[in-house]
Homo-oligomer: A and B are copies of this chain.
Amino acid sequence: MEVTVHRVAYFNAAHRLFRADWDEAKNVEVFGKCSNPNYHGHNYELVVSVTGEIDSETGFVMDLKVLKKLIKSEIEEVLDHKNLNLQIPTFSTTNPTAENISIFIWDRLRKFIPTHLKLAVTLYETPRNYVTYHGK
C-alpha cells in the first residue's frame, strides 16, 4: 500500500535567465524580460512529494516533521531571500530556470530521503508557471 505524502514550502528569491557565453542581445532575444541584468524575483512555492509504504508502527510514510525540517535546512535556508545567480554556485554556470531549480532541489533532498522512498518535487515560479521533476 504505497502512499505519497506532500509537504509545501516557500522561498523568495531574485534571479535572471542568462547565459554568460551569449551576448546581451542574444540573452534578450531568447529570455526576454526574464533576462533583465538587474534581476527580478519570485515567491517560489515548493511541493515535496515522498512515496512509499506506510510504516505500520507510526502510520507515516515519512514523518512530516522530519521532512519539514529537512526542507528548511536544505532548501529554505539556502535559497530564501537570495540572488540565485550570484549566491548559489550551481547557478553561476547553470541557468536558473524553474526546470533547473527543481533538479537542484531534488538533488539536495534526495541524499537525505531514505532510499526505499521515491521523491518528486513541484516548483511554482508563479501561480501560472510551474514544473514537476520525478528524478529520472
A38–B86 Cα gap in the complex (Å)? 7
Partner of A39, one of B14, B98, B100: B14
Q: Kindly state the interface size class of chain A when it binds its partner.
A: 35 or more
In chain A, residues 5-26, which have Cβ atoms closer than 8 Å to a Cβ of chain B?
5-10, 12-15, 17, 19
Bound: A133/B6 CA distance, A = 11
Residue contact B4 to A131, C-beta cutoff 8 Å:
yes
Interface presence of A114 (CB below 8 A): no
The answer, among B57, B94, B128, for a CB contact under 8 Å with A59, is B94
A54–B98 alpha-carbon span in the complex (Å): 11
Chain B neighbourhood of A80, CB < 8 A: 33, 40
